[in-house]
Structure 1
């Protein structure tokens, strides 16, 4: 994995990557815009008592990052199918732990192709 996450102490980590790891700038923008911070805060369940504007910002940033990750996962499905010739069942098993969810994988594949412009 080219992106490195190094634990630096209790509750601390350092994330490093190069421009080659982030050619479209998704990582940099997620960090600079606080999307990643809000999403990690949400993942940890640490929303606590927030005023309404902060709660809205947290939800917005988390949802935006989730949508981006959905698009990136869809592109990965295209790569798994087209570049690695994996079956729908293999991909469904890996993504959903259920080889019978092939129709969900096919929808992701179609979405990924649209994002790739093919």
Structure 2
């Protein structure tokens, strides 16, 4: 029996573990790399939606980042596209959980941030 290569290569050479600096490489600026967004430390491949997460698009602020704070606060301000959720209200944390559930249903999980968000 012949060995068959997988249809798709692994998402990254990082074995599914990303520092925030490594995650930043997957921000959509390099067309040869997938686009990743992390939420609550979980990294999702959002490459199937370049019209949303690609350069210059509405949610690109979250590409290559853990944007938990901004998602929970419903903010696309660059300064809010960070992992730290310290001080967020219960309502904002619920919105963040809703975003996580949305992503979990629609996008493939490719890894986790190793020095994850402060939750």
TM-score, normalised via structure 2 length: 0.30
TM-score, normalised via structure 1 length: 0.30
Higher RCO structure, 1 or 2 (CA under 8 Å, sep 6+):
2
Structure (1/2) with the larger helix percentage? 1
Considering only CA atoms, is the larger Rg found in Structure 1 or Structure 2?
Answer: 1
